[in-house]
Amino acid sequence: MPKISLIVASEKLDKLFPAVILATTAATMGWESEVFFTFWGLLALRKGYEPKEVSSDYKVYENELRNAIRSGAVPSWREILEQGKKTGRLRIYACSTTMSLLGMRTEDLVEYVDEVVGAATFLSRARNSDINLFIS
């Protein structure tokens, strides 16, 4: 079975969308899919957290993106991720080192996080992936 592994190091909407679309699409196609949220990307897994902005390079498109989500023309990045989770082939990891750095606890994370792991554990799992991506 093909496998994709993604590292997400940004909480910006324009970074979260490509990561979850790729991970969910791969899972829907029957691939094993895993996403490791680290540094600022980990903020996106905090209960009640909603990304507030896009990267400065894409600021001119922020209103269009938000309007598309609000109108239902595009599902939210969380809805896309939850669709991927329903396949049973998408796993979500939170970085243990970043959690310590940010003072986060396991109970601060959304319920669909599969596991809190360190970089070494994630890299050992990702090493046999067909595709590895770093999104920051």
Q: What domains are defined for the chain?
A: 3-135 (3.40.1260.10)
Task: Convert the pLDDT of each residue in 29-57 to its tens digit.
Answer: 999 999 999 999 999 999 999 887 888 88
Residue 92 in contact with residue 35, Cβ under 8 Å?
Answer: yes
Task: Convert the pLDDT of each residue in 98-116 to its tens digit.
Answer: 999 999 999 999 999 999 9
Residue 65: which of 19, 25, 13 has the closest Cα?
A: 13
Task: Kindly report the pTM of this predicted structure.
Answer: 0.93
